[in-house]
A and B are shown apart, each in its own frame.
Chain A
Amino acid sequence: IVAGCISHPHSWPWQISLRTSFGLHFCGGTLIDPQWVLTAAHCLEKSSRPSAYKVYLGLHRERASESSVQKIDVEKLFKEPHRVDIALLKLKSPAIINNHVIPVCLPKENSVLGGREECYVTGWGDTKGTGGDGYLKETGFPVIENKICNRPEFLNGKVKSHELCAGNIHGGTDSCQGDSGGPLVCLDQDKFVQHGVTSWGLGCAQPMKPGVYVRVSNYIPWIRSVMENN
């Protein structure tokens, strides 16, 4: 996360850290059910073997030295069948739900954001020298409607309808490498709902180049069917 701030420990209890089998963080993800994690498909490019990955939950520090940390192996990987940058991980055993580990809410199928919502992204990714490395950082910014985001001065038609943009028009704060797969959540009344999976961007925190997130509401039927059938 570029700029933003270090979050209150365990205030984003659905954020997971996707790691190599040796424990090296490389992507984020979100707990959507005690045994299921949503992440980006591009985070799973290096290996198609579930044993190559580990999911860390309940952590604030990247070092994962807290006693609240749960480390769970991955049982199965499910990439979206049409090569959209979204994937599901089934954990070998359910995460223990406690004050440090709580699933996020998913949006209603095909629900849309109006382009004014205040949303938040979190992660342990690159900070581009803005500090807070090693801690779970957060930053907030509005969602930008695709009509605006696809203007020539923004992302010039690169944003597909199954994606959404979010960021500050001036840049300055953004998600970045290492935050991929993590959540973009928006407050709906008193609950956080995951509307995006961190996917791609043109650089990080550049003016007029907001981050691009996979639009979760488009994939609710797929998520539901994978979870029900597995």
Chain B
Amino acid sequence: KGDVLDDYLRMDGVWILTRNKQFYETNNEIECAEKCEAERNFTCRAFLYTRKKLQCLTLAENSKTTLIFSSTDSVLYEKRIYLLQCKRGIGKDYRGTEAKTWRGIPCQKWAEKTPHNPNITPEKYPSAGLEENYCRNPDDDVNGPWCYTTDPAIRFDYCNIPECEGQVMQTTEATEGPTVDCMICNGEDYHGNVSRTESGLECQRWDAQEPHMHGYTLKHFPGKDLKMNYCRNPDGELRPWCFTTSPTKRWEYCNIPRCTTPPPEPAPGRQCLSGRGEDYRGTISVTESGNTCQHWSSQSPHRHARTPENYPCKNLEENYCRNPDGEKMPWCYTTNRTARWEYCTIPSCDGVEQDTAAVDGPEQAQVTEECYRGNGVSYRGTTSFTVTGKKCQAWNSMSPHRHNKTSDRFPNADLRQNYCRNPDADSRPWCYTTDPGVRWEYCNLKKCDDNLQITLPKPPQTTLEPDPECINGNGKDYRGTVAKTARGRTCQDWRSQRPHSHDYFTPLTHPEAGLEHNYCRNPDGDVNGPWCYTTDPRKAWEYCDIPKCPPAQYECGKSKVKQKLCAQR
């Protein structure tokens, strides 16, 4: 047998609140563990040890059953058998809380005499853990843990306790199934249930935004297993971490032991850029601006933590460009003191993948569509050249043009390969081009023959051009054709000086005021709205009666002019 502490799970910096406990003074944790083993007043499930005070506290309860607090000086040791909800071998040391037989009949309490008067009692078997009505195996039954049942017709029956498998440890969330509680590499694949940080703080649930608001949500990090409040490493950190429930500590690393098995054999990797290039294993070692990469194992000229030791599974060899941390593309620290790190330009795998796709099964059969209908939103053909003959950039590529028309944002737009598409309901199919100087162009596609065209209902008109026959505000922009005043008088032509001569408001003096014909206008921003000179010699001018426009219907956040979306990244 090894160290007595091997039977315990250690948690630093925590304190648990229990009713049944016993104080001792011991020189170290091992002596405290021995006190726990020898405890006669209650079943010792855990102990707390405080090094400063040499204080040993044996406990009847553990973290599964009571409250935990953070306490910097203390260490909690929990007996592993009381944390397991599975059995090893015949389950003689099973100390879980299953209390039903395999048929679902509730167990009788071991200390009770009805409905069955038991032969096996807690008094006769003090070390067998005969507490409550939990399934136990005090008599080495080869069929595993059992209990007396509450059914008078069935004296005893066996319980259905799952087997513990190898190094697998099951924790309190029994429904989650067995989980490995160690990590390989940087714990990016860690799926265990540890939910406390290295200083003992409880983790905040990933789906909660309190006390810390954050962007590590399931939506933004799909596939990263951000469940409950378990420590995870979704973003290429050194090891799993979590936001904490302490308002003063936003996040902290968790202490997850490394698995003793060696890291897996590295995947072969790619020599070209696919996605973010996390699997790039080529030997390019120059950045996009031409700087030479610094060796990953070197700390000069730039000190850093992305060392091969810290990231054992990321192939940080030599000074090759790599993406160990979920960056947008492979990068490296540079040997130039003024540029700490830069991205590398890695040739895309797009061409290779395209060829592969072409030989795929029938589902990949290429649709031949030489024309588009309507505005081409439904176009699913394979044309991939623009009107000026430029080759289209693949939609999943960000080179040479970075963009946001990605298949995850436009899942129904069929943004495959580099085929012309119309994900944003433009006037016709288009694509980003492979020419760095031309961001996008319409495609070299004809509209299908009108005779064959299917008539589809038109989308609602969203034009925001003002209705010419109503006014907004004071009607300064009114360009309609009303030519009578509110009192029914006919308006005088703005170019005419008869019957009323006027030098100031003419098409020449106010070219932008729309002084055409004899239409009502508001060239001087009159608060009462458009007006005109009248043809009645007795009345020089009069207001016109033009209805107010109803509030414009608009769609927020949608411009009528396409943005450049220029970004210098």
When C-beta atoms are compared, the residue in chain B nearest to A31 turns out to be: B556
- Report the bound CA distance from A34 to B383 in whole Å: 43
Interface presence of A11 (CB below 8 A): yes
Cβ-defined contact, B567 with A118, below 8 A: yes
Cβ-defined contact, B404 with A138, below 8 A: no
Q: A141-B567, A168-B568, A168-B569 are in contact. Are A9 and B557 (CB under 8 A)?
A: no
Contact of B568 among A34, A110, A139 (CB under 8 A): A139
Interface presence of A10 (CB below 8 A): yes
Interface residues of A in 83-101 (CB under 8 A from B): 93-94, 96-99
- Report the bound CA distance from A218 to B209 in whole Å: 11
**Residues 1-34 of chain A, each 1 if its beta carbon lies under 8 Å from chain B, else 0:** 0011101111111100000000000000000001
- Report the bound CA distance from A93 to B251 in whole Å: 47
Which of A36-44, A73-81, A185-193 interfaces with chain B? A185-193
Q: A120-B565, A189-B409 are in contact. Are A13 and B214 (CB under 8 A)?
A: no
Interface presence of A150 (CB below 8 A): yes
Cβ-defined contact, A11 with B464, below 8 A: no
Cβ-defined contact, B212 with A99, below 8 A: no
Interface presence of B560 (CB below 8 A): yes
Report B-chain residues with C-beta under 8 Å of the C-beta of A103.
Answer: 554, 556-557
Cβ-defined contact, B565 with A13, below 8 A: no
**Residues 402-421 of chain B, each 1 if its beta carbon lies under 8 Å from chain A, else 0:** 10100001100000000000
Which of B67-75, B146-154, B465-473 interfaces with chain A? B465-473
Which of B57-65, B216-224, B316-324, B501-509 interfaces with chain A? B216-224
Interface residues of B in 195-221 (CB under 8 A from A): 209, 212-217, 219-221
Interface presence of B98 (CB below 8 A): no
When C-beta atoms are compared, the residue in chain B nearest to A218 turns out to be: B213
Report B-chain residues with C-beta under 8 Å of the C-beta of A12.
Answer: 559, 563
Interface presence of A129 (CB below 8 A): no
- Report the bound CA distance from A93 to B424 in whole Å: 33
Cβ-defined contact, B214 with A147, below 8 A: yes
Cβ-defined contact, B466 with A98, below 8 A: yes
Report B-chain residues with C-beta under 8 Å of the C-beta of A192.
Answer: 557-559
- Report the bound CA distance from A9 to B563 in whole Å: 9
When C-beta atoms are compared, the residue in chain B nearest to A122 turns out to be: B563
Q: A3-B568, A98-B552 are in contact. Are A11 and B466 (CB under 8 A)?
A: no
Cβ-defined contact, B566 with A116, below 8 A: no
Interface presence of A62 (CB below 8 A): no
Q: A10-B561, A110-B209, A114-B220 are in contact. Are A99 and B567 (CB under 8 A)?
A: no
- Report the bound CA distance from A4 to B569 in whole Å: 9
When C-beta atoms are compared, the residue in chain B nearest to A93 turns out to be: B473
When C-beta atoms are compared, the residue in chain A nearest to B409 turns out to be: A189
Interface residues of A in 205-229 (CB under 8 A from B): 207, 215, 218
Interface residues of A in 155-193 (CB under 8 A from B): 161-162, 168, 170, 172-173, 185, 187-193
Interface presence of B19 (CB below 8 A): no
When C-beta atoms are compared, the residue in chain A nearest to B463 turns out to be: A99
Interface presence of B29 (CB below 8 A): no
Q: A11-B559, A12-B559, A102-B554 are in contact. Are A5 and B564 (CB under 8 A)?
A: yes
Report B-chain residues with C-beta under 8 Å of the C-beta of A116.
Answer: 220
Cβ-defined contact, A8 with B561, below 8 A: yes
Interface presence of A145 (CB below 8 A): yes
Q: A102-B464, A118-B404, A147-B250 are in contact. Are A11 and B216 (CB under 8 A)?
A: no
**Residues 132-156 of chain A, each 1 if its beta carbon lies under 8 Å from chain B, else 0:** 0000001111110111101000000
CB distance from A143 to the nearest CB of B (A): 8
Interface presence of A104 (CB below 8 A): yes
Cβ-defined contact, B409 with A140, below 8 A: no
Cβ-defined contact, A139 with B567, below 8 A: yes
CB distance from B414 to the nearest CB of A (A): 16
CB distance from B205 to the nearest CB of A (A): 14
Cβ-defined contact, A190 with B558, below 8 A: yes
Report A-chain residues with C-beta under 8 Å of the C-beta of B213.
Answer: 110, 112, 146, 161-162, 215, 218
Q: A13-B559, A115-B215, A192-B557 are in contact. Are A147 and B251 (CB under 8 A)?
A: yes
A residues within 8 Å of B by Cβ? Answer: 3-5, 7-14, 34, 67, 93-94, 96-99, 102-106, 110, 112-116, 118, 120, 138-143, 145-148, 150, 161-162, 168, 170, 172-173, 185, 187-194, 207, 215, 218
9 extra interchain contacts, Cβ-Cβ under 8 A, other than A99-B560, A145-B235?
A: A98-B466, A115-B235, A118-B404, A118-B567, A138-B563, A141-B567, A145-B215, A189-B409, A218-B213
A-B contact pairs, 19 of them (CB 8 A): A13-B560, A13-B561, A94-B473, A96-B472, A105-B556, A110-B209, A115-B220, A138-B563, A140-B565, A141-B569, A142-B569, A148-B235, A150-B250, A173-B568, A185-B557, A188-B557, A189-B410, A192-B557, A194-B557
B residues within 8 Å of A by Cβ? Answer: 209, 212-217, 219-221, 235, 250-251, 339-340, 342, 402, 404, 409-410, 424-425, 463-466, 472-473, 477, 512, 551-552, 554-569
